[in-house]
Amino acid sequence: MIQWKKFPFFDKELVKEEGSQNPNSVIQKLPISCTTSGRGILIIGDTEGFINFFDREFRLSSSFHAYNEMVNQLYQLKERNFLISIGHDEPGANPILKIWNLDKMDKNDVPLCVRAIKIEKMVTITSLVCLEDLSQIAVGLANGEVIAMKGDVFRDKVIKQKTMKHPGESPVTGMGFITKGVPSPVLFVVTTTHVYSYIREQEYCIDEEGGDIGNFVMSDDQTPIIARPDAIYFYNTDGRGPCFGFGGTKNKLLWFRSYLVVVGHEASISSSAGGGSGGTASGNSGIGYLSPSNMASKQTIVNIYDLKNKYLGFTDKFEGVSHIASEWGSIFIFTTDGKLYQLEEKDTQTKLETLFKKNLYSVAIDLAKSQHYDNASIADIYRKYGDHLYTKGDFDNAISQYLCTIGKLEPSYVIRKFLDAQRIHNLTSYLQALHEKNLANEDHTTLLLNCYTKLKDVKKLDQFIKTDSEMNFDVETAIKVCRQAGYYEHALYLSLKHNQHDWYLKILLEDIKDDQKALDYIQTLSFEEADKNMKKYGKMLVSNIPEATTRALMKLCTDYQPVHSAGMFGHHSSAFGHQDNAAANNMIHKVEELKLTTDKAAPEEFIHIFVSQPEWLTKFLEYTIQQGNETPLIYNTLLELYLREDKKGSASNITTTTSSSNSEESSNRLEKAYEFLTSPKSKFDEDHALILAQVHNWKKGILYLYEKLKLYNEIIEYHMENEDFDGLIKSCKKYGDQDPNLWVQVLSYFATHQKNCQNEITEVLTNIDRDNLIPPLLVIQILAQNKYTTLQVIKDYISRRLSQETQQIDKDYQQIKQFAEETDKMRNEINELKTNAKIFQQTKCIACHSPLDLPSIHFLCQHSFHQRCLGDNERECPLCAPANKRLLEIKKAQADSAGQHDQFFKLLESSQDGFSTVSEYFGRVKNTVTNHSQKINTLLSIL
């Protein structure tokens, strides 16, 4: 038999008279026949027919005479304040069941009896049970009968009584209703020889061994419990369940919270007591063993068992126990000598302190759980248990307790202990549990992986890293630790599994030095990831594997699609086995799920990575341009590469190179650059290209860009700096029409040059004379600066100019004469209009061609009209008005445009004769000023 640990978890106290040390006299004097409790009241029935109510201070709060004879049974409902009692009003008469409403009083100030039902059998009542709604009441008899009463006890006039179990040799010793987890109430019946269950009045024998009177009780969760001399048995609706072996005779049972209270005798004392001890009653005679006086001479033991936590919470001896009850969180023991003892349970904390002193931490944990302690408090008990074991040096068991504190105890408390004790195996277990419960941080991950690496436990390291569960740990930390410890394959596995592309590439490039595999991996990524990582690692890859990297960049910048190939994962698969193949396949599957779009990277963002590989940069840029990239930076850079590669001589003097092959290569390269520069598809920045050409002294490119930018003066200056006389003359002939001042600029250059430039000056003068660019006097002043220039050089020029001037003077005199004659004519006409009458000889109306009649209107323009033909417009000739209006609009437009300076400068730039443009605008301004002056004078005259 198992020996359960005993603990003093209940305090025993005699219920005393108020203000005295003597036993409670009221209770001591009562001839108690039955007890019940509930709803804050202790109820006692006595042999004189009284029902007595005691409050928490054990004062008799009320008492009333319920029966004329003994009260046999009491049953207090839990959910409603109703009391059911069975007793006798007359000797030898049928027992009467009464239902009392304790919340209402009758005229005699006693509880209201809502129903009285006479039991049809004149047999001793041994058991009473009812449902909380009073819809079913069952009465057990000493002859083995069970009488069931069903109906509405408040409304039905007659309550029918039905015998569910017919009389037999086995008296009923206990009953209880089971309502939880069943479709309809089940009546559980115990006799001295059998156990029955009644489902919808159908009888089922579930055990052929019963129990004595007082040895049956229902737990709070409606589990039937039967005590026998050998053990305590638990039942359900189907039959016997688990049992606990407790020897000795059991006389009474009580379920209190989670405890089972057993009143009995030790086995050595009561060895003669059996399952059917005490005799058997039949007929309507009383049962001898039911009387408490039969046990008055025996010393009784009360044990309180915690069946869940497997300990004995109280044990003590009493001089005979007649009844037991519980209320107000205490157990009450009624002894045969009239005393009442109260067993009050100690608070849980006191219990735990007792267990802690005895180092019974496992019992303390079970107790705390049964009392529904919060997880933090239970974890603290585990911590104390772990500390106790740790102090004893039992590290393995200590870590088992600390594992139960995860989530409530700061992990550093445990980690520090096992770091100091150098118990790396125990520490590893704890850290692994932290990760399994997703409570680990970066430091815990680092420490766990360091433990694995120090133990060289590759198997556990593999299990931790390759687990399929959702173990929460900082992946980046794990990768760092594996990398630092030299476990590159594990670090690569983690990086691959968790899509840590940056770490995967860093390990491949910096630790394993596998540039090609890194490049292959980049090409499996999505466009965004590939673009980011190529920018980060492209310089290193271009330096080590320029050709493959350049090809990858070409794809990335034109029509990128991720590479769907498992070949690159073969290396890792060989290191890890089939599980890693699964990881690789998972990675491939993710790649295949990528959206297939035509993504293009910006080529200009990768130019800097080719700093040490200009040859491959040239190929890369040429390819991107062929694919239609129109970014000016690409064109600028490629042009610079074409020019920069000619390092042994300037672009303008390639014949000075020492090697003919180099000279030919440079020539081809410059020719290629010129074709690229002059291509209409090129999108380079012209200013930047000009700077490049100037830096590399590329004459052909410089002159082309000057021409394209219409920098004709710069072309002339370039030829001047290089003393290229032929180039100067050709340029002036080519661009002189766009900018005639070029001839004047060249003339000044030759006039100040130290060399003899007579032939060039002659040709320049010819072109200046042809277009009449500057006055002859200014030409003579310019040429006077050159001591080599003789009169012979400008003789022909001066002769031509003098002849032209003479002809122009004659032409001007003729125009002056013509203008003078026209002026005199106009003056005469004006004078005639002012002094002489104007004769109108029109006889017909210009509008209707009818003869004129009065009233008629004649205009000075010799046009005549009927007044009716003119209508309201009598101030202006309809025929001459449009022409006059146009003249006025032209005049007004000239005055308005005089202030439009932007338009003036645009016209000045595009005009061949700038002086005419200036004169025209000057005239407009003058007219505008005159008009304004006239308006001002008019206003002044009015004022």
- List the single range of 177-181, 315-319, 543-547, 889-893 with lowest mean pLDDT: 889-893
Cα angle at 481 between 479 and 486, to 5 degrees? 95
Q: Which two tokens stand for residue 330?
A: 């205490």
Mean pLDDT of 515-522: 87
Predicted confidence (pLDDT) at residue 237 exceeds the cutoff of 60: yes
pTM (two decimals): 0.53
pLDDT in tens, 89-124: 888 889 999 999 999 998 888 999 999 999 988 889
pLDDT tens readout for residues 372-384 = 888 899 999 999 9
User: Does residue 711 have a pLDDT over 50?
Assistant: yes
CA angle 895, 900, 906 (to 5 degrees): 125
pLDDT grade for 487, boundaries at 50, 70 and 90: confident
Q: N- to C-terminal Cα distance for the chain? A: 138
Residue 33 has which token pair?
């026949």
**DSSP track, 406-474:** BTTB-HHHHHHHHHHTT-HHHHHHHHHHHHHTT---HHHHHHHHHHHHHHT-HHHHHHHHS--S-----
What pLDDT, on the 0 to 100 scale, is given for residue 295?
A: 40
pLDDT-derived band at 284, boundaries 50, 70, 90: very low
pLDDT exceeds 90 at position 333: yes
**CA distance linking residue 587 with residue 571, whole number of Å:** 15
Tokens of 917: 């443009």
pLDDT at site 935: 44
pLDDT at 296 over 60: no
Q: What is the pLDDT of residue 573?
A: 40
- Higher local confidence (pLDDT), 504 or 682: 504
In angstroms, what CA-CA distances link 706 with 257, 383, 643, 711, 749? 106, 88, 18, 5, 20
- pLDDT tens-digit series, residues 751-789: 666 566 666 676 677 777 666 666 666 676 666 666 666
Predicted confidence band of residue 261 (pLDDT cuts 50, 70, 90): very high
The whole-number average pLDDT for the span 518-538 is 87
Give the model's pLDDT for residue 908: 67
Lowest mean pLDDT among 250-254, 658-662, 712-716: 658-662
CA distances from 168 to 286, 705, 774 (A): 16, 129, 154
Listed in sequence order, the residues at least 6 apart from 826 whose beta carbon sits closer than 8 Å to its beta carbon are: none
Cα 298 from Cα 511, distance rounded (Å): 88
DSSP lists the bridge partners of residue 116 as 98
Report how far apart, in Å, the C-alpha atoms of 603 and of each of 525, 529, 633 are: 18, 16, 9
Question: Looking at residue 45, what is its pLDDT?
Answer: 95
What was the pLDDT predicted at 343? Answer: 94
Going by pLDDT thresholds of 50, 70 and 90, the confidence category of residue 922 is: low
Which residue did the predictor score with more confidence, 223 or 867? 223
What pLDDT is recorded for position 736? 63
Whether residue 322 has pLDDT greater than 60:
yes
- Is the confidence at residue 428, as pLDDT, over 70? yes
Q: Which of 772, 762, 780 is nearest to 804 (CA)?
A: 772
> DSSP labels for 632-666?
HHHHHHHHHHHHHT--SS-TT-GGG-S-HHHHHHH
Cβ neighbors of 803 (< 8 A, separation 6 or more) are none
Task: Note the pLDDT tens digit of each residue in 137-187.
Answer: 999 999 999 999 998 888 888 888 888 877 777 899 999 999 998 999 999
How many angstroms separate the CA atoms of 173 and 54, rounded?
A: 27
> Per-residue pLDDT for 329 more than 60?
yes
pLDDT level of residue 320 (50, 70, 90 thresholds): confident
Residue 340: band (very low, low, confident or very high) from pLDDT cuts 50, 70, 90 = very high
Q: What is the pLDDT of residue 912?
A: 58
Residue 687 sits at the vertex; the CA angle it makes with 683 and 688, to the nearest 5 degrees, is: 75
Q: What is the pLDDT of residue 924?
A: 57
Q: Quick check: helix, strand or coil at residue 283?
A: coil
Measure the CA–CA gap between 655 and 697, rounded to whole angstroms: 14
Tell me what the pLDDT averaged over the chain comes to.
78
| pLDDT of the residue at 225 | 95
- Using 50, 70 and 90 to split pLDDT, how confident is the model at 910? low
Helices 914-942, 881-897: crossing angle, 10 deg rounding: 100
Least confident among 372-376, 665-669, 727-731, 786-790: 786-790
**pLDDT greater than 60 at residue 593:** no
Q: What is the pLDDT of residue 297?
A: 42
* Res. 728: pLDDT tops 90: no
Residue 476 has pLDDT above 70, yes or no: yes
Q: Tell me, what's the pLDDT at 914?
A: 63
Residue 548: partners with Cβ closer than 8 Å, 6 or more residues away = 516, 519, 541
pLDDT at 657: 38
Query: According to the model, what pLDDT value does residue 624 have?
Result: 81
Reported as a single tens digit per residue, the pLDDT across 823-863 is 888 888 788 878 887 777 788 888 888 888 888 888 877 78
